[in-house]
Amino acid sequence: MATLRYAMERPEGLRQDTLFCYDLVLPRSFTPQPVDGEVAFFELMPLERVFEIVRDTDDIKFNVNLVLIDLFLRRGLFSPQETAELRQALGQ
């Protein structure tokens, strides 16, 4: 489990959030369904493809990117140099 905290300035004031991140292993037969109106669809992608999307685009919501970057660090998708720089920036 990881706990990520961030703060950002918004028109309505300072927003401070805490994200609790868990890895959840699901059976291959599991198919998520968008039922709350917040998500339009789900798409299964290889982790390396998600890494490319986060690295090269703004297609994923900023706070979801934070969770994914934590996952990429734990899975070794960054180079050792990038990992050291990210961990230093995060104060780890």
The string of pLDDT tens digits covering residues 1-22 is 889 999 999 999 999 999 999 9
pLDDT of residue 2: 87
pLDDT of residue 88: 85
Question: Tokens 């798409």 identify what position?
Answer: 43
- What does each C-alpha distance from 60 to 12, 15, 36, 53 come to in angstroms? 23, 19, 19, 8
| 67 within 8 A of 21, measured Cβ to Cβ | yes
What would the pLDDT profile of 20-46 be if each residue is shown by its tens digit? 999 999 998 999 999 998 888 899 999
Q: What's the whole-number mean pLDDT along residues 38-62?
A: 93
Q: What token pair was written down for 41?
A: 């669809």
Quote the pTM value. 0.80
**Nearest Cα to 73, choosing from 91, 44, 49, 51?**
51
pLDDT of residue 12: 94
| 21 within 8 A of 32, measured Cβ to Cβ | no
